């Protein structure tokens, strides 16, 4: 859940949390919840802010749908973490979702472009 005082409606981010997670898990091998949160914050230059507790249910949902696979790893210092990797089904779903997102944003941009041009004038 994004924090309240942001410049975008919370639903905008909420609806895309799973896509962001899926994409990062595809890119980062054996990643884990906290790393994913930091990565999203860092790549979006602090713009995309989650209530961090909402990331873990999203991960579980992706796992239950068979899109990612989670397993407990024991680190050298004895700490244990739940690490995730994408499944073939998850990769397929990611390609579809990215294509859908690109189509959607292209369409939105096409509609918004005249308004931007008007603003510039």
Partner 1 sequence: MSSLEVKDYLGEIRSHLRLDPSAERQVIGEICAHFRDKVDDLKGQGLTHADAARRAIEAFGRPKVVARLMCDAFGRGSWSDALMAALPHALVAILFASHLWRTPAAGIPVWFFIVCVTLFGWSRGKPRWLYSWIGYSLSPLLIIGFLSYGTAGQAVGFALNGFRGELPGLPGTALVLGFYVCAAWVVGRTVVRVVRRDWLLASVMIVPLPIIGSWLFFLGKAGGLVQSDLPPLHLWDESMAMAFLALAAGSATFVRIRKRLWKVIALVLIASTTLVALGPNLWGAHGFLQLSLFFLLMVVFLLSPALVESKVGHGEGEDDVWWNEYWSDEVSSPYPRS
Query: What six digits make up the tokens of 77?
Result: 């210092």
Chain position carrying tokens 């919840």 = 33
Taking the C-alpha atoms of residue 61 and residue 92, their distance in angstroms, rounded to an integer, is 17
Q: Which is nearer to partner 1, 75 or 111 (CB)?
A: 75
Closer by beta carbon to partner 1, 23 or else 54: 54
Least Å from the CB of residue 76 to partner 1: 12
Binding mask 99-118 for partner 1 (x = CB under 8 A): --------------------
Question: Which residue lies nearer to partner 1 by CB, 61 or 91?
Answer: 61
Give residues 28-87 in contact with partner 1 (rule: CB under 8 A): 32-34, 51-54, 56-58, 60-61, 64, 72, 74, 77-82
Binding footprint of partner 1 on the chain (CB under 8 A): 1, 32-34, 51-54, 56-58, 60-61, 64, 72, 74, 77-82
């Amino acid at each position: 859940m994004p924090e309240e005082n942001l410049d975008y409606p919370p639903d905008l981010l909420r609806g895309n949390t799973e896509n962001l997670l899926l994409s990062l898990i595809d890119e980062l091998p054996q990643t884990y919840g906290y790393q994913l949160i930091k990565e999203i914050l860092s790549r979006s230059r602090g713009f995309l802010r989650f209530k961090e507790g909402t990331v873990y249910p999203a991960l579980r949902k992706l796992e239950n749908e068979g899109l990612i696979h989670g397993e407990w790893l024991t680190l050298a210092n004895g700490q244990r973490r739940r690490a995730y990797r994408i499944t073939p089904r998850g990769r397929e779903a990611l390609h579809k979702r990215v294509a859908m997102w690109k189509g959607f944003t292209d369409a939105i941009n096409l509609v918004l472009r005249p308004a931007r041009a008007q603003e510039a004038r």
